[in-house]
């Protein structure tokens, strides 16, 4: 009986998934950009220079991750001072009341060694909606060691009206494309 218990214990240890690694977003070496069509033929870009976040992943269980990123919407810039003022104002991000934009993801589906979709939720203006990030890793996450940085690019599109940003529908497009270039440091 003791041999059977020892064998079961040995099998459960060898079948246990590998270690999870925790990484912090290096805000100084990462960027977030949102692009929306303007007047139907051009586009406007907003940049979010201040951010923080983290990711926890297990290279042996890439389907489950813990990703959390916060953007400081009150620090966003959009080129011209008037554009920045409008975007920070009540018709768009309403930063005095809602200074943070957040993405939280908990499920990842790998589509190749370096590509994946991360399902999660975006919160802006106090409204939370589902979103999916299309992610390309510089190096395969299955090879993560917890000692080297992780670099990735992620993209998603949202409908700004889903977040209560309904102003200027004849001038500003409804689809916003978000691009994230991130460097995550072991921690």
Residue 1: inside a domain, yes or no?
Answer: no
Task: Give the Å distances, CA to CA, from 108 to 21, 128, 153.
Answer: 15, 19, 14
In the chain, the number of structural domains is 1
Task: State the pLDDT at residue 6.
Answer: 41
Cα distance between residue 89 and residue 159, in whole Å: 18
The pLDDT tens digits along the chain (187 residues) read 554 334 334 333 433 457 999 999 999 999 999 999 999 889 999 999 999 999 999 999 999 999 999 999 999 999 899 999 999 999 999 999 999 999 999 999 999 999 999 999 999 999 999 999 999 999 999 999 999 999 999 999 999 999 999 999 999 999 999 999 999 999 9
Within a domain: 92:
yes
For the domain that residue 147 is a member of, what is the CATH number?
2.40.128.110
Q: Say what the pLDDT of residue 164 is.
A: 97
Show the CA angle centred on residue 179, arms to residues 173 and 180, nearest 5°.
150
On whether residue 11 sits in a domain, the answer given is: no
Which pLDDT belongs to residue 145? 93
The structure tokens listed for 118 are 């991360």
Query: If you write DSSP's letter for every residue of 28-42 in order, what string do you get?
Result: GG-EEEEEEEETTTE
Domain membership flag for residue 6: no
Domain assignment of residue 27, yes or no? yes
Cβ within 8 Å of residue 76, ≥6 positions away:
46, 47, 48, 49, 84, 87, 88, 93, 95
Q: In this structure, are strands 100-110 and 51-57 parallel, antiparallel, or unpaired?
A: unpaired
Question: Does residue 12 belong to any structural domain of this protein?
Answer: no
Residue 107 resides in a domain: yes
SS3 162: helix
Report in angstroms the alpha-carbon separations of 52 from 26, 48, 127. Answer: 7, 11, 20
Q: Which two tokens stand for residue 175?
A: 């689809």
Report the candidate in 36, 35, 34, 39 with the shortest Cα–Cα distance to residue 170: 39
- Supply the range of the domain harboring residue 129: 18-186
Q: Does 9 reside within a domain? A: no
């Amino acid at each position: 009986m003791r041999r059977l218990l020892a064998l079961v214990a040995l099998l459960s240890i060898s079948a246990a998934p590998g270690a999870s690694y925790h990484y912090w977003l290096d805000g100084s070496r990462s960027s977030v950009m949102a692009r929306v069509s303007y007047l139907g033929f051009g586009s406007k870009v907003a940049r979010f220079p201040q951010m923080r976040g983290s990711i926890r992943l297990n290279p042996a269980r890439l389907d489950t991750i813990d990703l959390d990123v916060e953007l400081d919407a009150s620090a966003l810039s959009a080129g011209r001072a008037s554009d920045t003022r409008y975007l920070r104002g009540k018709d768009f991000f309403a930063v005095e009341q809602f200074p943070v934009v957040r993405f939280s993801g908990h499920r990842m589906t790998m589509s190749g060694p370096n590509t994946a979709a991360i399902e999660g939720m975006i919160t802006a203006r106090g409204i939370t909606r589902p979103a999916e990030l299309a992610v390309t890793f510089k190096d395969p996450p299955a090879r993560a060691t917890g000692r080297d940085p992780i670099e990735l690019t992620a993209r998603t599109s949202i409908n700004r009206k889903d977040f209560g940003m309904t102003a200027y529908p004849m001038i500003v497009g409804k689809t916003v494309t978000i691009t994230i270039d991130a460097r995550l440091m072991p921690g």
